[in-house]
Chains A and B, each alone.
Chain A
Amino acid sequence: MLKILKYSFYDLIRSRWSYVYLAFYLLLGSVLLFLNNDLSKAVITLMNVIVVLTPLIGTIFGIMYYYSSREFTELLLAQPIRRSNIFLGQYLGVALSLSASLIIGLGIPFIAYGIFYSGAIWDYLTLLITATFLTLIFTALAFNIAISTENRIKGFGYAILLWLFMAVIYDGLFLLGLIMFSEYPLENFSLFATMLNPIDLSRILILLKLDISALMGYTGAVFQKFFGTNRGLIISFSVLIIWTVLPIWRIIYKSNRKDF
Chain B
Amino acid sequence: MIEVKNLYKKFGQNEVLKGLNLDISNKGIFTILGPNGSGKTTLIKSILGMVIPDSGDIIINGENVKKQWDYRLNIDYMPQIANFPSNLTVNELFDMIIDLRIEEKRKDELIKLFGLSEFLTKKLGTLSGGTNQKVNIVLSFMFDSPIIILDEPTTGLDPVSLIRLKDLITSEKEKGKTILITTHIMDFVEQISDQIVFILEGVIYFRGTVNELKEKTNQENIERAIASILTDTYA
Contact = CB atoms under 8 A, between A and B. Distances in A.
A137 B133 CA distance: 36
Contacts of B69: 80-83
Contact of B99 (A3, A8, A14, A75): A3
A259 B100 contact: no
Contacts of B100: 3-4, 76, 79-81
Nearest to A75: B79
Nearest to A82: B69
Interface residues of A, number: 28
Nearest to B47: A78
Interface in B61-80: 69-73, 75, 77, 79
A211 interface: no
Given A3-B96, A7-B85, A7-B92, A77 B11 contact: no
B168 interface: no
A182 B96 CA distance: 59
Chain B CB within 10 Å, residue with most, of A74, A78, A257: A78
A71 interface: yes
B88 interface: yes
B83 A80 contact: no
Contacts of B87: 10-12, 14-15
B50 A260 contact: yes
A80 B72 contact: yes
Given A71-B79, A260-B45, A80 B70 contact: yes
Interface in A49-104: 68-72, 74-83
Nearest to B53: A259
B48 interface: yes
A11 B72 contact: no
Contacts of A83: 49, 69
A4 B100 CA distance: 8
B186 interface: no
Contacts of B49: 77, 83
Given A72-B83, A79-B101, A260-B50, A10 B92 contact: yes
Nearest to B45: A260
Contacts of A82: 69
B52 interface: yes
Interface of B: 9, 11, 45, 48-52, 69-73, 75, 77, 79, 81-88, 92, 96-97, 99-101, 139, 149
